[in-house]
Structure 1
Amino acid sequence: MNRRRPPHSASAEELLTTLQHLTSRARREVEVHQARVELAQALQREMLPSTLPALPGLQAAARYTPARSGLDIGGDWYDGFRLPDGSLAFAIGDVQGHDVEAAAFMGQVRIAMRALAVTASDPGEVVRRTNDLLLSVDSGLLATCTFVRLDPRTLELQSARAGHVGAVWATADGRSGVTEDEGGLPLGIQSGEEYPVTTRRLAPGSAFVLLTDGVVEGPSYPLDEGLDAVVQLVRSRVGDSADELADAILRTAARTGHEDDAAVLVLRHEAYPAAAG
């Protein structure tokens, strides 16, 4: 006949030892997670440019805020650099994911675009060749982006878009809107995809804003509503500096309730004073 063993009453020493083990394990897990976060954040800081190119009469400013989930980083990015012919290149993009892999892939996209832009004939070729290069390494990740080249003499903008959210623009005379340029598929989907080029001029006193969907879209905040809010903001503050506009636009991201990271890049043509008669 089996007899039930009396329940074991843990001593205070046993309870203390168990608690110490649990505390030690939790501390190690926190330390490992924190180390991963710090590594990922350092990686992302190194991937983003510390300064953007500018010209007399042209202001450029960019901002980035990390995701509120995952490792507190993401795949959103921006870039700006000067090309050998004197033109300026600007780009913004969004890689899927919020982890070290996304940040590393973002770095690959950015470096590829910088390298290919040196010899490419236009932004469409830059984006097409970047897409084909990324597909050749078979990362399995996707990215959206917009690439812009600016002529320093005429301030003419050429742009190509790969599945990315439209840009916001506003002029000194009160006109504003969202670009509806024809574009191609996001990077990493289909080899040989073509990316049409759109040409426009950055008029005196106007602003051209590239952004990621984390600025304008949230769980219960539709993309169109977010874009409309940014359009209204840029139209009402088109006379502000590029830095002031970038800060104000990024603050609007808070209303979306998003958990995604967000990036914004502002190009603004300062209005020149009228020449003396």
Structure 2
Amino acid sequence: MTAASDTWTIASAADAARARALLSRLAADAGVPAADRARFLADLGARLRRGLPTARAELTVTCRPDGELRVVLGGAEPWRYTLVCPSPVAGPLPGPAGVDEARLAEALLDADEETAAVLASLDEAEEVVRFHREELHQTNQGVLALHAELEAAALAQRELLEAERSARAEAEKARRLLTFLANASAVLNASLDHEDILRRLPELLVPEYAGRVDIWLMDDDERTPPGERAAAAVTAARTGRPQHAGAHPGELPGVDDLPASALSPHRPLLCLPLGARTVRGVLTLSAPGDRFDPDTTVMLLEVARRAGIALDNARRYEQHRDVAEELQRAQLTELPTTAGLALAARYLPATHGLNIGGDWYDAFPQPDGSVLAVIGDVTGHGLRAAVIMGQLRTALRAYAVEGNGPARILTLLHRMLRHQQPELYATCAIARFTPGGSAVVLAAAGHPPAVVREPGGEVRVLEAKPGIMLGVPVPYEYAEHTVELPAGSTLALYTDGLVERRSAGIDAGIDRLAQAMGALGAADLEDLDTAADSLLKPMLHDSEHDDDICLLLCRTT
């Protein structure tokens, strides 16, 4: 089958109408859908109207065997259109001249049908568009809601992160404050010297927690501050409550607010009472910045409370130490003045602890004119040791008045201590000097050996074996030893605190004492008190000793 083709001349509107009507009929017969026909005919009509009425145009129509209807409109602007026909168009093609008025009227009515079909298709399309528009609106609403939920979730997540950061910062701040409080407590409680505590307190607080620190301590009977004090400090001392003085209220927990201090108008002050039971003073802090932090203030209140307790403990300890030292010294005897015998003694309390112990020395004449030099040491420290030391000293004098010798006196003391104070022991050494004699009688109960320096400078340690300690729960009789002592000789009796150190044994200390005695010059021995001081210097070069020290020097003349 070959293609059918025909060319029509369009010279007037009537020619254009007939050509349009003919092509509408051909397309309809070929089964072209109404919408496609309407689109084709509308485009064709517009092209034909554009060329009329002045120009002539050639319209070529070709029907191909494959079902295509091709239309070509010649002229200044050629136009081509191809319709795909479901059914083939049978040839030959009728010319537009065969279209009469009846056919034109029928074509006009058919155009209305095509228009109605197009409008119906448009309605369907609009319904579909409306449906999709509604669907799109719902989708948009869902997307907006999802965006809102995502934004809310993001905001909640940011708030949670901020809360977590804030909680971490608060936890870190609390940890730092608690660590400082623990360290400050350890520093304040490590010393029982209130001057040391007062020195360390500003070192702890400046500059992180205070720009400046002032500590005002009051006497027990005086409440009027000497010199200029901030009004807030006076109020804190009078009321016992912490005070804040600043241009603006601090609103700090547990702290009263006062106007700014004239002594510090531009920087807030925090005045904290010191004292465990009564106000003993006031700790005044100037703010390290513009204001005091509430959490830091809580920590500073606790530091002030603990500092007050530490100061009270130090003051109480110093009072007890002074009383104990006075009690200890009251137990010591004033050395007698005896012809032919010079005496000098030194007592040094321990540098640690309550400074009360059981070390003692004594010297007194017997009824027969001889002189007893005694040195002793009760085990332990504290009031009980001092009391037992006093009892032993009194009992020893009582036994000596009865005319007993050194060994017998120790035997009686041992018996007394063993029965009256079990589980408490003591050491003691007694030397008896006889006027005009050249010998000394010694007896010892577990005591370090005496050291002798002869006139020529020779030094010897009297190594005679001592008896057991006083109070050991076994019966015991002590023995006496007689030692030749040329005139001008110096005998040293001492307690173990002089020669014993943690880092070395007691034997090394005794050797050190012997060397120190050998190093004494003749001028030192002329004044026995000078000799005692000269001996203590090399023996106590470290100045720290955990035990009491007694030294009794006896020099025959």
For normalisation by structure 2, the TM-score amounts to 0.44
CA contact (8 A) 2:493 2:553 kept: yes
Offset from partner CA, 1:218-256 (integer Å, 9 cap, x none)? 011222222122212222326313222211222233147
Shift in Å, 1:212: 1.2
- Aligned with residue 25 of structure 1, among 309, 312, 315: 309
Aligned residue type for 1:163: G
Q: 1:98 to 1:157 in 2, by over 3 A?
A: same
Aligned residue type for 1:85: D
Match of 1:123 in 2: 406
Relative contact order (C-alpha < 8 Å, sep 6+): which is higher? 1
Match of 1:180 in 2: 463
Match of 2:61 in 1: none
> For residues 147 and 206 of structure 1, what CA distance do their matches in structure 2 show?
17
> For residues 379 and 331 of structure 2, what CA distance do their matches in structure 1 show?
16
Shift in Å, 1:17: 5.5
> For residues 86 and 57 of structure 1, what CA distance do their matches in structure 2 show?
12
Number of aligned residues: 264
- Aligned with residue 444 of structure 2, among 148, 161, 170: 161
Shift in Å, 1:12: 5.8
Match of 1:39 in 2: 323
CA contact (8 A) 1:76 1:262 kept: yes
What is the aligned-residue identity percentage?
36
Where do 5+ consecutive residues of structure 2 fail to align?
A: 1-166, 175-251, 256-296
CA contact (8 A) 1:131 1:191 kept: no
> For residues 310 and 509 of structure 2, what CA distance do their matches in structure 1 show?
40
> For residues 21 and 230 of structure 1, what CA distance do their matches in structure 2 show?
48
Shift in Å, 1:20: 5.1
Q: 1:141 to 1:253 in 2, by over 3 A?
A: farther
Shift in Å, 1:172: 1.6
> For residues 190 and 174 of structure 1, what CA distance do their matches in structure 2 show?
41
Q: Secondary structure of the equivalent of 1:41?
A: helix
- Aligned with residue 539 of structure 2, among 236, 250, 253: 253
> For residues 531 and 504 of structure 2, what CA distance do their matches in structure 1 show?
22
> For residues 72 and 135 of structure 1, what CA distance do their matches in structure 2 show?
26
Q: Does residue 210 of structure 1 match 2:493?
A: yes
Aligned residue type for 1:40: A
Aligned residue type for 2:534: A
Judge which range, 190-199 or 63-72, deviates more.
Answer: 190-199
Aligned residue type for 2:320: R
Match of 1:275 in 2: none
CA contact (8 A) 1:127 1:162 kept: yes
> For residues 539 and 399 of structure 2, what CA distance do their matches in structure 1 show?
32
Q: 1:68 to 1:139 in 2, by over 3 A?
A: farther
Match of 1:262 in 2: 549
Q: 1:192 to 1:226 in 2, by over 3 A?
A: same
Q: Does residue 108 of structure 1 match 2:350?
A: no
> For residues 361 and 438 of structure 2, what CA distance do their matches in structure 1 show?
20
Structure 1 or 2: larger helix share? 2
Match of 2:520 in 1: 237
Q: 1:234 to 1:21 in 2, by over 3 A?
A: closer
Q: How big is the alpha-carbon RMSD for the aligned residues of Structure 1 and Structure 2?
A: 2.4
Q: Secondary structure of the equivalent of 1:53?
A: coil
Offset from partner CA, 1:164-193 (integer Å, 9 cap, x none)? 000001112332211111321111113421
- Aligned with residue 419 of structure 2, among 136, 141, 151: 136
> For residues 30 and 213 of structure 1, what CA distance do their matches in structure 2 show?
29
> For residues 188 and 268 of structure 1, what CA distance do their matches in structure 2 show?
31
Q: 1:120 to 1:26 in 2, by over 3 A?
A: same
Offset from partner CA, 1:42-93 (integer Å, 9 cap, x none)? 11011001x2123333211110111122112322111111112211111011
Which residues of 2 match residues 67-86 of structure 1 at below 5 A? Answer: 67-86=350-369
CA contact (8 A) 1:93 1:143 kept: yes
Q: 1:238 to 1:213 in 2, by over 3 A?
A: farther
For normalisation by structure 1, the TM-score amounts to 0.86
> For residues 23 and 232 of structure 1, what CA distance do their matches in structure 2 show?
47
Q: 1:238 to 1:169 in 2, by over 3 A?
A: farther
> For residues 118 and 238 of structure 1, what CA distance do their matches in structure 2 show?
37
Q: Secondary structure of the equivalent of 2:540?
A: helix
Aligned residue type for 2:528: A
CA contact (8 A) 1:212 1:264 kept: yes
